[in-house]
Amino acid sequence: MTTNTEDAGRGRPAAGATRLERLRAEHADAVLAFERENRAWFSRWVPDRGDSYFADFTDRHTRLLDEQAAGRDHFHVLLDETGAVVGRFNLVDAADGTAELGFRVAERAAGRGVATAAVRRVCVLAREEYGLWGLRAAAGLANHGSRRVLERTGFTPVGEVLLGGERGTAFVLEPLPVALPEP
């Protein structure tokens, strides 16, 4: 997928042309660089993955690809025009027509409509390619950016959850619509 979106209401260009790709073995180095470069940024919004995540990254990446091949999970990377990862968009625990959406975007790409455009595309893939009819997601109360992305793409808040000990909101999008709302 190639998107070139603008941040609605601010007229700022998005972080350049991006393309969403299904996770592959050759993405490993770029994903690891993305996670390292954005570790402090991510830890502002979600619990830190810890040093073991980075130490065991190669084995973990291989396990993710195995889970994807088995059809349980669907992992995606959002690449910028240079091939660097600027986001990850994952559908996990796919079963009985539903899955959980998780995503994270690089600090340099945040607030530019990149996540909203990629979540829209992943929702289409969920319905058209993976045969899903519903998605779940969650975001911490302080994670205004992720909450806004979920709301802009049609997710509905359905209750409270705990995320790493912090309060958050559970969201659902079901059934997956043929067309998602525009920002």
pLDDT confidence bin for 4, thresholds 50/70/90: very low
Q: What is the pLDDT of residues 12-67, one digit of tens each?
A: 334 467 899 999 999 999 999 998 888 887 777 666 576 666 688 889 999 999 99
Q: Would you say residue 176 has pLDDT above 50?
A: yes
Q: Which residues of 84-112 are buried (b: 16+ CB within 10 A; e: fewer)?
A: bbbbbbbbbebeeebbebbbbbbeebbbb
Q: Would you say residue 8 has pLDDT above 60?
A: no
What pLDDT is recorded for position 15? 44
What pLDDT is recorded for position 151? 96
What pLDDT is recorded for position 165? 85
Residue 24: count other Cβ atoms within 10 Å of its Cβ.
Answer: 12
Instruction: Please state the pTM of the whole predicted model.
Output: 0.84
What pLDDT is recorded for position 14? 44
SS3 of residue 52 by DSSP = helix
pLDDT confidence bin for 5, thresholds 50/70/90: very low
What pLDDT is recorded for position 1? 36
Q: What is the pLDDT of residues 81-127, one digit of tens each?
A: 999 999 999 999 999 999 999 998 988 888 889 999 999 999 999 99
- Give the pLDDT mean for 139-159: 94
What pLDDT is recorded for position 27? 94
Q: State the alpha helices, DSSP H only, in the chain.
A: 28-37, 39-43, 51-55, 57-69, 114-128, 144-152
What pLDDT is recorded for position 48? 57
What pLDDT is recorded for position 183? 56
